[in-house]
């Protein structure tokens, strides 16, 4: 067990207030459509984003994969960034679940641009897969928590619309982007055909994501969720935590962004660090000097109670979240200074 766990923002544990909210939540059978707390969460999220409907899911992966299965048919193609979570970290789900292929575009920060997307769109020819879906990730996890500018989202939306592409957002950490950029939920709700949002990351709920979209899309998504065994019964205990997270933990995300930026400045002056990707939100990626043993470095920190993760050869990641205290940050800095 780590005392300062920077491996991910998924490691947070419910506070006493969140636990109380969970235990106080009225529940029913969500598969039968009568869990009042799930209904409340789904209505609340749809209202916030201005979409017709939403569906509470077990994870970000499940929400993304349901969206892919709903939007795509076998032989279709999705355009995404080579860093995309839907491609790299969802168990090959694009192929296994949606039977689709992938075309990649984007810059080293994890951001996609209209020209690149246009160059991925295939002609309507029986030799080619059918380009059907444009999937954006905001913030980009592997890109280092980077955010899109609103104009960039609009430009991608316009390319998608003029080429008949469905527009999906993996918004696992969308609230980090909204807080950092001052963007609005309703603008995102209007721009995308579907959005998945994680409540179990920086927002601190123990489990759960929400998939947003039109009534027709969510109705279809509910059928797919049931088919893959994702129908859950008294899920209201978890929806209660999710509601608590949305009502209490959005504004404080700025604290995590500040902590990541502060740590970036600290890391940049350490001799064993080759480079630091300037963080925009709560994800901090840095590269170790080539001659440093990455496994040994991570193990040394683990022995001091500090958890970080690796993001490829020589690349490490720290993710800041609500369970990281100021004292924890001092401990990390002291440990690194003595390394």
Ligand X SMILES: Cc1ncc(COP(=O)(O)O)c(C=O)c1O
Conformation bin of residue 159: beta by default, left when phi > 0, alpha when psi is -120 to 50: alpha
Q: How far is the CB of 290 from ligand X (least distance, A)?
A: 27
Kindly state whether residue 236 participates in binding ligand X, applying the rule CB under 6 A: no
Is the CB of 64 or the CB of 70 nearer to ligand X? 64
Q: Residue 56: which H helix or E strand, with range?
A: strand 53-57
Q: How far is the CB of 169 from ligand X (least distance, A)?
A: 10
- 194 forms part of the interface with ligand X (CB under 6 A): no
> Is residue 135 a contact point for ligand X (CB under 6 A)?
no
Q: Which is nearer to ligand X, 133 or 336 (CB)?
A: 133
Among 4, 120, 198, 263, binds ligand X (CB under 6 A): 198
Query: Taking CB positions, which residue lies at the least distance from ligand X?
Result: 60
DSSP-assigned beta bridge partners for residue 171:
197
3-state helix, strand and coil shares in percent for the chain, rounded to the nearest 5? 40, 20, 40
β 315-319/309-310 pair status: antiparallel
Please give, one letter per residue, the 3-state secondary structure of 85-120.
HHHHCCCCHHHHCCCCEEEECCCCCCCCCHHHHHHH
Q: Output the smallest distance, CB 205 to ligand X, in A.
A: 10
Identify which of residues 68 and 336 has a Cβ nearer to ligand X in the complex: 68
Q: CB–CB of 296/316 below 8 Å?
A: no
Among 49, 51, 60, 239, binds ligand X (CB under 6 A): 60
- Judged by beta carbon, residue 60 or residue 206, the one nearer ligand X is 60
- Interface with ligand X includes 110 (CB under 6 A)? no
168 part of the interface to ligand X, by CB under 6 A: no
Query: Closer CB to ligand X, residue 38 or residue 273?
Result: 38
Residues 40-59 interacting with ligand X (rule: CB under 6 A): 59
Residue with tokens 């939007």: 71
| 12 binding ligand X? (CB under 6 A) | no
Please say which residue, 64 or 281, places its beta carbon nearer to ligand X: 64
Spatial separation of the C-alpha atoms in residues 85 and 180, rounded to whole Å: 21
Question: How many other β-carbons are positioned within 10 Å of the β-carbon of residue 319?
Answer: 28
Cβ proximity to ligand X, 78 vs 198, nearer residue: 198
State yes or no: residue 61 binds ligand X (CB under 6 A): yes
Which contiguous run of DSSP H or E holds residue 255? helix 253-268
Q: Does residue 222 belong to the site contacting ligand X (CB under 6 A)?
A: no
Q: For the segment 76-105, give every residue that binds ligand X (CB under 6 A).
A: 85
Give the pair of three-digit tokens for residue 252: 């404080």
DSSP at 288: E
To ligand X, the closest distance from the beta carbon of 247 in angstroms equals 20
* Residues 311, 164: Cα–Cα separation, whole Å: 35
Those residues whose C-beta lies under 8 Å from the C-beta of residue 185, and which sit 6 or more positions away, are 48, 49, 50, 178
Figure out which of the listed residues 137, 180, 193, 280 binds ligand X, where binding follows CB under 6 A. Answer: 137
What spatial distance separates the first Cα and last Cα of the chain, rounded to whole Å?
21
For ligand X, the binding residues (CB under 6 A) are: 10, 59-61, 64, 85, 137, 141, 170, 172, 198, 200, 209
């Amino acid at each position: 067990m780590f005392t300062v766990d920077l491996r991910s923002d998924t490691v947070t544990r419910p506070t006493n207030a969140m636990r109380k909210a969970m235990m106080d939540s009225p529940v029913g059978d969500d598969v039968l459509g009568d869990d009042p707390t799930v209904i409340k969460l789904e209505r609340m999220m749809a209202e916030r984003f201005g979409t017709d409907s939403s569906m509470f899911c077990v994870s970000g992966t499940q929400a993304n994969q349901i969206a892919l299965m709903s939007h795509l048919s076998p032989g279709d193609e999705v355009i995404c960034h080579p860093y995309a979570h839907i491609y790299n970290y969802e168990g090959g789900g694009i192929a296994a679940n949606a039977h689709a292929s992938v075309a990649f575009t984007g810059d080293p920060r994890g951001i996609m641009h209209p020209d690149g997307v246009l160059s991925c769109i295939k002609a309507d020819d029986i030799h080619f897969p059918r380009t059907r879906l444009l999937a954006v990730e905001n913030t980009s996890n592997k890109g280092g928590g980077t955010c899109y500018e609103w104009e960039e989202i609009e430009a991608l939306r316009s390319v998608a619309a003029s080429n008949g592409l469905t527009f999906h957002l993996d918004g696992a950490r969308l609230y980090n982007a909204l807080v950092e950029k001052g963007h609005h939920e309703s603008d995102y709700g209007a721009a995308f055909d579907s959005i998945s949002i994680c409540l179990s990351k920086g927002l601190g709920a123990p489990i759960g994501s929400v998939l947003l979209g039109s009534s027709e899309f969510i109705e279809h998504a509910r059928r797919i969720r049931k088919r893959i065994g994702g129908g859950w019964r008294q899920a209201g205990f978890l929806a209660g935590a999710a509601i608590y997270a949305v009502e209490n933990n959005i504004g404080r995300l700025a604290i995590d962004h500040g902590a990541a930026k502060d740590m970036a400045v600290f890391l940049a002056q350490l001799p064993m660090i080759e480079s630091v990707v300037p963080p925009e939100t709560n994800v901090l990626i840095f590269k170790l000097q080539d001659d440093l043993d990455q496994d040994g470095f991570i193990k040394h920190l683990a022995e001091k109670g500090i958890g970080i993760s690796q993001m490829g050869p020589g690349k490490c990641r720290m993710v800041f979240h609500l369970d990281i205290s100021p004292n924890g940050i001092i401990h990390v800095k002291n440990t690194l200074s003595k390394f």
